[in-house]
Amino acid sequence: MIKWYEQIYEEANSMKKMLSRFNWKYWVPLVGMASLSALFFRTFVLSPVEVVGNSMEPALHDGNEVLVRKYGKVKRFEIVIFTLPNGKTCVKRVIGLPGDMISYKDDTLYVNGKAVDESFLDDVKRQYNTYTSDFSLNELIGKKRVPKNQYFVLGDNRRISKDSRTIGTIKSEWISGRVLLNYWPITSFKLFN
């Protein structure tokens, strides 16, 4: 009958032999490179973000998980993630690019004096007489055009969103990425362009 301490000793020796055969020179660099690659990918390419709040309904809802693209040029109507100087992270839609003149009149968006369709709001607009109140960029920030390296953003839920109408334009360096897709919950899966 083998005593319990002899069994432990044998198992320890067995483990020691197995570890001595383990090719540390191969596996340690491989695991290190995989970790660095994952860190690089998450820092500079794509990262997950949880949506907090209802300001982007109906496109995004509180608790949705989105994948954010951290490279490329910001385009009109893309949904961006940005962090304000006070540390608050926000999710909003880009309406005005640097140099644009932005105004709203009779529930219609005007960019550089031309009416622009916001088809992503069609279903919601039908529910209200006026969904977005009238304003001009000049009334809001005292400038006729969106300043250089800044963006004018609005939440899709215009009636409750605290966006460029209240916080002003956002600086390009505040933007951490552009929403690529909503992946959670699965029933809300949606790819954004």
- Does residue 20 carry a catalytic annotation? no
Active-site residue identified among 92, 103, 161, 164: 92
Q: What is the DSSP letter of 120?
A: G
Residue 193 buriedness (CB in 10 A; 0-12 / 13-18 / 19+): exposed
- Does residue 144 carry a catalytic annotation? no
Q: What is the distance between the alpha carbons of residues 123 and 120, in angstroms, rounded to a whole number?
A: 8
148 near 159, Cβ under 8 Å? no
Tokens standing for residue 145: 């055009």
Q: What is the distance between the alpha carbons of residues 139 and 111, in angstroms, rounded to a whole number?
A: 15
Active-site residue identified among 55, 103, 161, 164: 55
Q: Could you tell me how many residues make up the chain?
A: 193
Encoded amino acid at 121, one letter: L
Please list the active-site residues.
55, 92
